[in-house]
Amino acid sequence: MIRVGIVGGTGYTGVELLRLLAAHPGAEVVAITSRGEVGRRVDDLFPNLRGSCDLVFTEPAAAALAACDVVFFATPHNVAMHSVPALLDAGARVIDLSADFRLRDAGIWSRWYGETHACPERLAEAVYGLPEFHREAIAGARLVACPGCYPTAIQLAFAPLLAGDLVDRDQLIASAASGVSGAGRQAKLDNILTEASDNFKAYGAAGHRHQPEIEQSLGDLAGGPVGVTFVPHLLPMIRGIHATCFARLKTPGLDLQPVFEDYYADEPFVDVLPAGQHPQTRTVRGANRCQLAVAVPQGRETAVVMATEDNLVKGASGQAIQCMNIMLGLPETNGLAHPGLLP
């Protein structure tokens, strides 16, 4: 069995890692940390795990984690980068769900995250954990930087268009909406029931930190710089992301349905819907799956790609486990093959 450690076990992506790993045939969680819940049983805090997790929370101390084969960081930004170098040097593999290792340029990272990077010399070592683009590199990686939840959906939506050089790559537009769990389990006024429910609003329109991440990664795929206008929104629901992505076609009239079907034909976790269908957040809830649909509105020369995912699964913890499977040579779908919850 692969020995797994989780740093940040009291948050939403942490408890989602536990839920998914409880059904994983080849991995066992042996250490889970919290700063505030040391000594408390995990299934006391999270009763959904009664019968499947008998661990207690421990301090985020390096020794217990260094004995793990793989350590997940399910922590806010600016946490993992302080401990990762020592863990890597001790021989552990690390999968970071935060943004600490997503951007290659420490200067750009500082500009968007407002801190000085603690280990810029390790950025080049990190592999971006989007398996659909980087499967081979992930297989050989010791440090994987999992994408943000919005970037996963948006990149999977634009990729077939950019890879085929079918659209103007400097005029990409993504309007996306997330459920409130995307903001984590910390108490924040914007996310309480009376503020977030029965409401819908944009935020971060003047610049969201996912923009440089999307541009870096799609630029690699396109083989040159891309420009993305990204506006996120808050949806009055718990899980789910819906992204609607727009790009101007270079060749009007092209049938994009086979382009998308061919591009993702061998991908177990990207599902291109039949022409005319629209992806929904509820059909991917709980599943490690991104559902896509593509259309060109009548009389227009614009490709419209719609993408849905569960922000906590394909947008975070499921994708992280997919990366773990690849890194450790396990079947990629281990622990992740279940369908979404409906209704």
Ligand X SMILES: NC(=O)C1=CN([C@@H]2O[C@H](COP(=O)(O)OP(=O)(O)OC[C@H]3O[C@@H](n4cnc5c(N)ncnc54)[C@H](OP(=O)(O)O)[C@@H]3O)[C@@H](O)[C@H]2O)C=CC1
CA atoms within 13 A on the CB side of 288: 26
Q: Which of 149, 245, 290, 323 is catalytic?
A: 149
For the record, the structure tokens of 317 come out as: 């913890």
Q: Does 99 bind ligand X2W (CB under 6 A)?
A: yes
Using CA atoms, how far apart are residues 80 and 95, in angstroms rounded to an integer?
10
Smallest gap from residue 215 Cβ to ligand X (A): 18
Cα angle 313, 242, 101; round to 5: 50
- Pick from 181, 211, 288, 291 the residue near ligand X by CB under 6 A: 181
In the beta sheet, which residues pair with residue 173? 229, 246
Q: Does 62 bind ligand X (CB under 6 A)?
A: no
Span from 68-76, 117-125, 154-162, 269-277 in contact with ligand X (CB under 6 A) = 68-76
From ligand X, ligand X2W, none, which one binds at residue 317 (CB under 5 to 8 Å depending on kind)?
none
CA distances from 317 to 14, 126, 134, 230 (A): 8, 18, 17, 23
Q: Does 35 bind ligand X (CB under 6 A)?
A: yes
Q: CB burial class (10 A; 0-12, 13-18, 19+) of residue 176?
A: buried
Using CA atoms, how far apart are residues 341 and 278, in angstroms rounded to an integer?
17
From ligand X, ligand X2W, none, which one binds at residue 113 (CB under 5 to 8 Å depending on kind)?
none
Q: Does 234 bind ligand X2W (CB under 6 A)?
A: yes
From ligand X2W, ligand X, none, which one binds at residue 35 (CB under 5 to 8 Å depending on kind)?
ligand X
Compare residues 248 and 285 and give the one whose CB is closer to ligand X: 285
Whether residue 149 lies in the annotated active site = yes
Compare residues 98 and 256 and give the one whose CB is closer to ligand X: 98
List the interface residues with ligand X, window 149-178 (CB under 6 A).
Answer: 149
Smallest gap from residue 168 Cβ to ligand X2W (A): 26
Q: Does 240 bind ligand X2W (CB under 6 A)?
A: no
Q: What is the dihedral of CA 215, 218, 222, 227, to 10 degrees?
A: -30
Q: Which residues of 204-228 are buried (b: 16+ CB within 10 A; e: fewer)?
A: eeeebbbbbbbbbbbbebbeeebeb
Q: Looking at the annotation, which residues are catalytic? A: 149
The footprint of ligand X2W (CB under 6 A) covers 98-99, 148-149, 178, 182-183, 210, 232, 234
